[in-house]
Amino acid sequence: MLAHRRRANGRVRMRSGAWRMTTVSMVELQQLLNKVGGILEVDGKAGPETELAIRDAREAAGLPAGGVDDALVAWLQKQPDPSPVVPTEGVVFIARQEVSSRTNYDHACAKPTWPGGESGVTIGIGYDLRFQGDFESCWAPRLPAATAAALRPWIGKQGSAAAAASLSQYSIPFFAAWDVFTALTLPAEVRSTEGAYGDLMPLPPLCRAALVSLVYNRGPGLGDPGDTTGPRSEMRAIHDLIQKNELDKVPAQFLSMQRLWPNAAGLRARRAAEAQMWQDGLAAAKTGG
């Protein structure tokens, strides 16, 4: 465990493995760790997930085992954001929606899974082999040959519990999954989102994140222009509101989509979180944040 003491100013002094001392805001530290795959809830608390992210970051930086020190913070500050379009907060939101946390990934998502329904066998951070067509460029260079060979027969096919069970001997390392997610999958989803909704850059950063999260989860289809009650009607309404620059009306459309999943609390919660993210983006834009 990392020795730490919370100070009155909300900052935490953490003793590193080298017994050096550094003062760093826990919130700022978690935000920095999220740039390199921490996928942390930014709550200002030094819990097990944050400690795991620190260990991972030190290893990635080529630093000896230890805690938080100036060398780690300096390395983290030099790392690029995971996306030039979606803010890191949004990237982490999407990743957490898919795998919940770094620990949960290792326990429940590292092996191929089948989410159910029409999904295919799913690997990494929500990569569905049935609906993704770039396995060879995304995954083959990052996986052992035997793992890639075992997964190939499931490309383009509906999955099943039996399919996932048959692949249980294979595991996808988290940072291979993070690399594919940030370098390939997320940029593809940004392009897909822009194909449906137009250039994202004029939107506030958190609004971009909410929209990419929606498309990542539901796909880019907008349905028929005249359909005001179908399953895609709210997605088209969002498109039209963006075109008219009526951005304050968009959150209601995220919430309206909840009607589609009366028995799926997770999806309803995701739409509510996206609506809040959009509102937060508008608020930040108004205050210059």
Q: How many CB atoms lie within 10 A of CB 168?
A: 10
**Are the C-beta atoms of 176 and 143 separated by less than 8 Å?**
yes
**Are the C-beta atoms of 79 and 36 separated by less than 8 Å?**
yes
**Are the C-beta atoms of 131 and 169 separated by less than 8 Å?**
no
Q: Residue 69, class by beta-carbon neighbours within 10 Å (0-12 exposed, 13-18 middle, 19+ buried)?
A: buried
Q: Is residue 46 part of a domain?
A: yes
**Are the C-beta atoms of 82 and 186 separated by less than 8 Å?**
yes
CA distances from 151 to 63, 107, 138 (A): 34, 20, 13
Q: How many CB atoms lie within 10 A of CB 145?
A: 8
Tell me the average pLDDT of the chain: 91
Which domain CATH number covers 50? 1.10.101
Please list, in sequence order, all residues whose beta carbon lies within 8 angstroms of the beta carbon of residue 212, skipping any fewer than 6 positions away.
85, 86, 90, 94, 186, 189, 190, 193, 200
Residues belonging to the chain: 289
**Are the C-beta atoms of 96 and 209 separated by less than 8 Å?**
no
Number of folded domains that form the chain: 2
Q: Is residue 257 part of a domain?
A: yes
Question: Residue 179 pLDDT more than 80?
Answer: yes
CA distances from 278 to 60, 144, 213, 218 (A): 33, 40, 11, 17
Domain stops at, among 60, 78, 96 = 78
Q: Is residue 103 part of a domain?
A: no
Place 131 in a pLDDT band, splitting at 50, 70 and 90.
confident
227-258 pLDDT tens trace: 889 999 999 999 999 999 999 999 999 999 99
Mean pLDDT throughout 169-198? 96
99-122 pLDDT tens trace: 999 999 999 999 999 988 889 999
pLDDT computed for residue 17 by the predictor: 43
5-35 pLDDT tens trace: 444 344 555 444 433 446 679 999 999 999 9
Q: Is residue 92 part of a domain?
A: no
Domain stops at, among 28, 44, 78 = 78
Query: Alpha helices, DSSP H only, in 18-87?
Result: 26-35, 48-61, 70-78
Domain stops at, among 78, 105, 140 = 78
Question: Residue 4 pLDDT more than 50?
Answer: no
Give, as one character, the DSSP assignment of residue 81: P
Mean pLDDT throughout 201-229? 95
What is this structure's pTM?
0.89
Q: Is residue 106 part of a domain?
A: no
Residue 168 C-beta-side C-alpha neighbours within 13 Å: 8
Mean pLDDT throughout 157-185? 96
For the chain, state the CA radius of gyration.
20
Q: Is residue 227 part of a domain?
A: yes
Domain that holds residue 212: 187-289
Mean pLDDT throughout 70-84? 97
Give, as one character, the DSSP assignment of residue 127: E
Q: Is residue 142 part of a domain?
A: no
Q: Is residue 160 part of a domain?
A: no
Give which of 127, 132, 97 is closest to 112, Cα–Cα. Answer: 127
